[in-house]
Structure 1
Amino acid sequence: MQKITVKPASKNSKTARFKARGELMAKRKADAELAVKIDRAFKKLSTGCSERTQKAINLPSVKEPETTGSICIPDVAMYQAGHRKVRKNATHITR
């Protein structure tokens, strides 16, 4: 049986890239582990909180809802009620 020996890789661009990627991947793994630890800590803190506090912590981004329609047009009732008698300065028509 023949013995197989492995020589250390020579210094070339491929090994340099492999080494750099290894360092980058180690950093990413450490960052991911830290993020998991932080998430666990916040979960422990928020379990004893009231429901109101949990909602405040986990609220989605505050964004005004998009509104559409004719609510911004002045005197809109005058134009929407075409079958009714048109009155001057009518902002709200009731029956």
Structure 2
Amino acid sequence: MYPDEITESDKFAILPDELTRGGSCIVDSLGDYLAEPVFGKEKIIYADLDLDKIAERNFDFYVVGHYSRPDVFQLKVNEKSRRMRKG
């Protein structure tokens, strides 16, 4: 699985046989598990998705972002030179 130049290293020899143990899972947009992680074996995981929750979840975390909406936000830069006045 690894190139010889890696596996022949003394540092590699002391590592456990299983370097990455998997942990595939299905997580919803708020970070809750829909299917718990599976470690150390091959398994197909399934989850029921509630497509009606998409709009609800976008209120909490909108991946596309409202900052990319020119109809809502505008950036205006005042390029005129301003001098600080004393006192």
TM-score bracket for this pair, using the shorter chain length: under 0.3
More strand by share: 2
TM-score, with structure 1 as normaliser: 0.25
State the TM-score, normalizing by the size of structure 2: 0.27
Higher relative contact order (CA 8 A, sep 6+): 2
Structure with larger Rg = 1
